[in-house]
Amino acid sequence: MLDVLILGLLAGGVLALVAMGLTLIFGVMDVVNFAHGEFVMLGMIVTATLTNAWGSSPYLVAPLVVLGSVPLGWIIFQLVIRPSLGKSLYVQVFATLGLGVVLQAIALIIFGPNTVAVNDPLASSRINLLGVSVELGRVIAFVVALVLFVVVWLVLDKSRLGQEIRAVAQDAGAARIVGVRVSRMYLIVFISGIALTVAAGALIVPFQAVTPASGLTFALVSFVVVVLGGFGSLMGALVGGLVVGVIQTAAGFYLGNEWSQGVLFLLFIIILLVRPSGLMGRTTADAVAGGR
Amino acid sequence: MLRRIIPIAVIIVGFSVFPLVTNDNFFQNLTITILIFATFATAWNIAGGLTGLFSLGHGVMFAIGAYGAVLLSRDVGIPVLVAIPLSAVVASLVALLIGLMSLRLSGHYFALATLAFGAIGVVLLNNFADITGGDEGISIPFTPDPWGLVFQGKVPYLFLNLGVYVGTVLIFIALVRSKWGYRMRAIREDETTARSMGVSVLRTKLFAVSLSAFLSSIAGSMFAFYSLYITPENTASVSTSLEPALMSIIGGMGGVFGPLIGAILITLLQQQVITVIGAAVPGLANLIYGALLIVCILLIPKGLLGFLDQLRLSKRIAKKPAQPEEIPEPEKDLESV
């Protein structure tokens, strides 16, 4: 029982980081990024391939990969996201879906269809955590995820930049009037959302293998996390991630791995029905319409 | 009405002449695939284009048609021609149930919920392997039998699927002209206003999804008995769910024949990329496909047909600059049926 809880919380911390980029981009830009999972996959597969090619540690490669994701995020923002801002819903949905297809295809062309895994002695060594033996990689991922979470929280809450971003999230038009450069805030938020997502992928890959097709699962899981916590809420992503991590681990343990996804989606639908604005979400018009 | 009959006649004649002109297996296969997916896309368009419900889970309906017809005829012993409408009825009941749960949601939330239902469909098909064959799927034995919808040559398939497609289009046209069609378009344009005008929003949406599911399921059955091999991947997966949406969007959701245009383009693209480049570069086909989707959705969000309409409109405007009040509404596409 305790081991399920601990493993679940460890997994949940990383899920929270995976979902944080999605919720950040939605909260500020009002864009649901359906290509989200592909960025996790890219973070995983690039980190794994470079680690194996250089014979290095994934934790040394990861910062480079995250840095490399910044220009990628910039290009994608200019080409796909900026033209779809403010357009009708299906334009956004299908533009980001198309982006997902493209990213997955690029990964398939470059890295091939095979499973890539990292064999890192540091990550796979086991330590004793409250009487439960866990891989160190999972603990590292959990701790780094929490640190990144706190950093983002502090930036949003305390800094001048964070103030401007929150202003844009509340009311882009009013923010523009008081002199906030809205499109620059969008760019910053999108790039940092992508970088956080790629970082999550780089943290996951030391203990989980990856193929170019892995993205979809991550996308679906992050949707569950974000809907549970509340779309656009940072704290919601953390709470949702931890809850989903525990539920998924418990379902895998008691019902078998093949059902853990099914349980997750069932949970997803129950949340959408009972409380579409999530545990901590602000009440959006969509959520209000749904809650009726 | 005549304006709509002419294209249908052209389609029927065009597709019927096709097997007489060419005996080529590849082209016949291409044509049948186009017709099956054009039916599927037209069915999706009832929910997506007409009512504004962007479902990302239609693969489940397709899979119910495919698995339902095959399992009912193989394991229960119901004749195929009864099993197909029976599974279509099951699909519309499932759609009603899913609709009751998800139709109160709007916007992003509806798209996400349908995506989740699609994912659940794949999980169920994979996990009840005793019945469905798990992720290896079912292959249907090739024993030609006209009443079992397994034919020796390709030509009967072509006419069968042409018939199904034309039937679907006729239903679509009748729907557009009916009270239900007007209600659906009213909801698509502005749900709040539609509600205040006395349109029963939930009932109309439920009608739209169940009719859409019924026809999608028939397309799924057609797919099963043509390809003779069904798996969760080629029937229920997210990529199958996206296919009709892409076809409708690229062709144009506004019109009756947009989904057909989209089906032709996308099927050609998929098959041509495979034959031209081969399997040498896996992923290249998808790369082109995704890039095309992004370009289409950003540059011509009304699809090819909508784009052509706009071109015609701007020409007409250029001719008569003096009377701007006579500019026809760009949204007139479906009303003009």
- Per-residue pLDDT of chain A (292 residues), as tens digits, is 778 888 888 888 888 988 998 988 888 888 888 899 999 999 999 999 998 888 888 888 889 999 999 999 999 999 988 888 878 778 888 889 889 989 998 998 888 888 888 887 777 777 777 777 778 888 888 999 999 999 998 998 888 888 888 888 888 888 888 888 888 889 999 999 999 999 999 998 888 888 888 888 888 888 888 888 877 788 888 888 999 999 888 888 888 777 777 888 888 878 877 776 766 665 444 443 333 2
Pairing of strands B138-139, A132-135: unpaired
Mean pLDDT in residue range B215-220 = 94
Domains in chain A: boundaries: 2-214
Residues in chain B within 8 Å Cβ distance of A229: none
If contacts are CB pairs under 8 Å, which of residues 122-181 in chain A contact chain B?
Answer: none
Are A198 and A69 within 8 A, CB to CB? yes
Identify which of B56, B102, B120 has the shortest CB distance to residue A265.
B120
B70-88 pLDDT per residue, tens? 999 888 888 888 999 999 9
B118, closest residue in chain A (CA to CA): A265
ipTM: 0.80
CA B39 – CA B43 distance, rounded (Å): 6
Produce one character per residue of A91-126: b if its CB has 16 or more CB atoms within 10 Å, e if not.
bbbbbbbbbbbbbbbbbbeebeeeebebebeebeee
B254-272 pLDDT per residue, tens? 778 889 988 998 888 877 7
Q: How confident is the model at residue B109 (pLDDT cuts 50, 70, 90)?
A: confident
Mean pLDDT in residue range B118-135 = 84
Tokens at A236, concatenated: 């919601």
CB-based contact B123 A262, cutoff 8 Å: yes
**Residue B145: strand pairing partners:** B150
pLDDT of residue B65: 93
Tokens at A154, concatenated: 């502090």
Q: Look at residue B283 and give its three-state secondary structure.
A: coil
How much of chain B exceeds pLDDT 90, in percent?
Answer: 25
CA B334 – CA B337 distance, rounded (Å): 6
The number of beta carbons lying within 10 Å of the beta carbon of residue B143 is: 7
CB-based contact A216 B238, cutoff 8 Å: yes
pLDDT of residue A194: 94
Residues in chain A within 8 Å Cβ distance of B127: 258-259, 262
Is residue A292 within 8 angstroms of chain B, CB to CB?
yes
Stated as kind and residue range, the H or E segment containing B138 is: strand B138-139
**Best CA proximity match to A46, nearest among A94, A134, A118:** A118
Identify which of A94, A227, A286 has the shortest CB distance to residue B107.
A286
Tokens at A52, concatenated: 């194996």
Phi-psi region of A151 (alpha: psi -120 to 50; beta: other; left: phi over 0): alpha
First to last CA, chain B: 7
CA B38 – CA B56 distance, rounded (Å): 17
CB-based contact B104 A290, cutoff 8 Å: yes
Mean pLDDT in residue range B199-207 = 90
What is the 3 state secondary structure string of chain A? CHHHHHHHHHHHHHHHHHHHHHHHHHHHHCCCCCCHHHHHHHHHHHHHHHHHHHCCCHHHHHHHHHHHHHHHHHHHHHHHHHHHCCCCHHHHHHHHHHHHHHHHHHHHHHHCCCCECCCCHHHHCEEEECCEEEEHHHHHHHHHHHHHHHHHHHHHHHCHHHHHHHHHHHCHHHHHHCCCCHHHHHHHHHHHHHHHHHHHHHHHHHHCCECHHHHHHHHHHHHHHHHHHCCCCHHHHHHHHHHHHHHHHHHHHHHCHHHHHHHHHHHHHHHHHHCCCCCCCCCCHHHHHHHC
B29-61 pLDDT per residue, tens? 888 899 999 999 999 999 988 888 888 889 999
Is residue B225 predicted with pLDDT exceeding 60?
yes
Are B251 and B258 within 8 A, CB to CB? yes
Is residue A94 within 8 angstroms of chain B, CB to CB?
yes
Q: Which residue has the tokens 């392997």?
A: B129
Is residue B219 predicted with pLDDT exceeding 90?
yes
Distant-in-sequence, close-in-space partners of A256: CB < 8 Å, separation ≥ 6: none
CA A113 – CA A213 distance, rounded (Å): 8
The number of beta carbons lying within 10 Å of the beta carbon of residue A177 is: 9
How much of chain B exceeds pLDDT 70, in percent?
Answer: 89
C-alpha Rg value of chain B to the nearest Å: 20
Identify which of A79, A80, A87 has the shortest CB distance to residue B301.
A87
DSSP state for residue B131 in the 8-state scheme: H
pLDDT of residue B279: 60
Is residue B173 within 8 angstroms of chain A, CB to CB?
no
CA A258 – CA B232 distance, rounded (Å): 14
How close is the nearest chain A Cα to the Cα of B171, in Å?
Answer: 25
Is residue A102 within 8 angstroms of chain B, CB to CB?
yes
CB-based contact B106 A290, cutoff 8 Å: yes
